[in-house]
Amino acid sequence: MVSRRHFARGAAMVSICALTVGLVSQPAAADPKWAGPLTKEPVATGSGGAVATVDLEATRAGLSVLRKGGNAVDAAVAAAAVLGVTEPYSCGIGGGGFMMIYTAKDRKVHAIDHREKAPKAMQPDAFFEDGKVLPFDDARYSGRSVGVPGTVAGWEEALDRFGTKSLRQVLQPAISVARNGFEVDETFAEQTEDNREYFDDIPSSAKTFLDPDGTAPDVGSTFRNPELAKAYERIARYGAKGFYQGPIAEAMAKAVTNPPVSDDADHQWREGYMTTDDVKSYRADWREPTKVSYRGLDVYGMAPPSSGGSTVGEALNILEGYGLKWITREEALHYFLEASRYSFADRNAYVGDADFVDVPLQGLLSKDFAAERRALITGKAAGEVEPGDPWPHNGGGSGSGTPSVTLEKGTSTTHLTVADKHGNVVAYTFTIESTGGSGITVPGWGFLLNNELTDFNYDSTTHVNRVEGGKRPRSSMSPTIVLDHGKPKLAVGSPGGSTIITTVLQILVDRIDLGSSLPEAIAAPRATQRNGETTSAEQAWIDSPEAQALQERGHKFVDGGEIGAATGIEFLPGGKLLAAAEPERRGGGSAGVVRPW
């Protein structure tokens, strides 16, 4: 184990324009302690440390911590806590995530799993009624979809092992923003409106997120969340124990087992199973990250219960057999789509919580297995394919996969990336699942509970990713760290449900193989092939010359709307850092460096 002391001492599209907006919060402008970037810019270069998030306030908080001597873990937790205020429909203390940490002192990558868990009493048929599986919205907007939150446990675990500052210290920026407010942008207003008819059923959600007349807050208005500030203050005072025991834990359990529904609610809200014992017993786990070599680089990802590391890794292994930089872009994109297709077939069949099921992870990441899958790829789109058999490449064991469609409907989540002056790196993806989670705000505490249990294959009682008590649902979150001879080269991640995997893969291929800069790779039009007859894509992709040529190969594209909102950091020669965030999706992100060049 690397000590906190050792960790602390351890060692664009060219034409992209900065997105300049006014200060989004009064406290940051008034309080010089949290001074940081004054404008929202998607690209920044410099030294001394870097932060990239979807939000100006979060980036400002992370950079402030770095400037005050904190390390990458300290800054990541500070930024994440602010995102819990400003991006409450995507993330927060009512959810969970995966944090990847590179420690410069020993040149190792560590991974914290603080994914939500199903309550112990849940059974595989929990989402069935009268022999039929519940429709998605009925399953989602309910107490039944809520897993035991892991975010706070993950924050404390990361700080205890690798941080230099206390939870109390790093929560201060978030407390300030929650109390004093931030300016509502179009994304926040639209996401509120999308949930309004369900929030209106839950008095605590209506009180927290809707105006007194029951409408979404206006763009440009100031949004405050004093109850969330109170929750953060309790956590700051007592640590994770203040969340997992006492009044917050009791209020969470009650909201799940007896959803706080108004008498005139327009929807049925089903009860869930989470008890205070479930909450009290939650623990974050350290996982061995996945690792594949690609073009001489080491690519680290998240192991099960995430499918991110295995699926991105398998696809890279498949793609390594092609000289992508020497062929046409259209041909390279064809192989990208087909590698995604085959790796998703295997992901859908084999990946679940490895504490409950045997996952042939070694086989899935085997170069020989990738060669078998690559041999099936032709010059034409394959359509839906069957999973392969990774077990012979798994060093023992046997089993069979269960083909399935990709059920996850969550398009929310957020990702942040941080590096410090010592060379330590954090790639952190966390979520409450769908935009707005379960729709249930914990009364008196101002945060939404997740709907992560809909990430199970909840329509099956036999699938490896079926519902089981105490089990973590399979995730697609893909925080990724790339090393070059043991030193960080690139860190990246994205929101977007199961499209996270293909977004991260596309960014890596664009950056490593196809000559794009990191900002260009993040901004590029996207397509996501997840083993289907059609490929979801953004309209800009569909309209591209490459897409027209790909259709001649049999690819069928459908408009999938906006895909992802990634952030990343690249390490450049001479100690220079490039931080990049999404320039347009979800209103654009915010990148900053400690010392701009």
Quote the pLDDT of residue 11. Answer: 35
Please report whether residue 86 resides in a domain.
Answer: yes
Q: In the chain, what are the helix, strand and coil shares in percent, each to the nearest 5? A: 35, 20, 45
Same domain? For 218 and 86 the reply is: yes
Interstrand relation of 480-484 and 425-431 (parallel, antiparallel or unpaired): unpaired
Report CA torsion sign: 20, 26, 28, 29. Answer: positive
Same domain? For 233 and 98 the reply is: yes
Same domain? For 360 and 290 the reply is: yes
Please report whether residue 460 resides in a domain.
Answer: no
Please report whether residue 130 resides in a domain.
Answer: yes
Quote the pLDDT of residue 64. Answer: 97
Quote the pLDDT of residue 320. Answer: 98
Q: 108 by DSSP, 3-state: which? A: strand
Same domain? For 303 and 232 the reply is: no
Task: Show the 3-state SS of 239-257.
Answer: CCHHHHCCHHHHHHHHHHH
Please report whether residue 313 resides in a domain.
Answer: yes
Please report whether residue 340 resides in a domain.
Answer: yes
**∠ CA(75), CA(569), CA(50), 5° rounding?**
40
Quote the pLDDT of residue 21. Answer: 27
Number of structural domains found in the chain: 2
Same domain? For 248 and 188 the reply is: yes
Same domain? For 62 and 179 the reply is: yes
The pair of structure tokens assigned to 481 is 């760290």
Same domain? For 518 and 434 the reply is: no
Same domain? For 262 and 296 the reply is: no
**Residue 189 lies in domain:** 4-284+413-455
Residue for token pair 């099921």: 357
Same domain? For 301 and 252 the reply is: no
Task: Cite the beta strand spans of 254-308 per DSSP E.
Answer: 285-287, 290-294, 297-301
Please report whether residue 580 resides in a domain.
Answer: no
Active-site residue, selected from the candidate residues 164, 311, 413, 503: 413
CATH code of 344's domain: 1.10.246.130
83, amino acid identity: L
Same domain? For 105 and 130 the reply is: yes
Please report whether residue 417 resides in a domain.
Answer: yes
- Cβ atoms of 356 and 471 within 8 Å: the answer is yes
Same domain? For 424 and 482 the reply is: no
Quote the pLDDT of residue 37. Answer: 62
pLDDT tens, the chain, 597 aa long: 344 433 433 333 333 333 222 223 333 333 444 455 668 999 999 999 999 999 999 999 999 999 999 999 999 999 999 999 999 999 999 999 999 999 999 999 999 999 999 999 999 999 999 999 999 999 999 999 999 999 999 999 999 999 999 999 999 999 999 999 999 999 999 999 999 999 999 999 999 999 999 999 999 999 999 999 999 999 999 999 999 999 999 999 999 999 999 999 999 999 999 999 999 999 999 999 999 999 999 999 999 999 999 999 999 999 999 999 999 999 999 999 999 999 999 999 999 999 999 999 999 999 999 999 999 999 999 999 999 999 999 987 666 566 655 444 445 799 999 999 999 999 999 999 999 999 999 999 999 999 999 999 999 999 999 999 999 999 999 999 999 999 999 999 999 999 999 999 999 999 999 999 999 999 999 999 999 999 999 999 999 999 999 999 999 999 999 999 999 999 999 999 999 999 999 999 999 999 998
Same domain? For 305 and 250 the reply is: no
In 3D, which of 466, 463, 340 has the Cα closest to residue 400? 463
Quote the pLDDT of residue 404. Answer: 56
Please report whether residue 368 resides in a domain.
Answer: yes
The pair of structure tokens assigned to 216 is 């979404």
Is position 413 annotated as part of the catalytic site?
Answer: yes
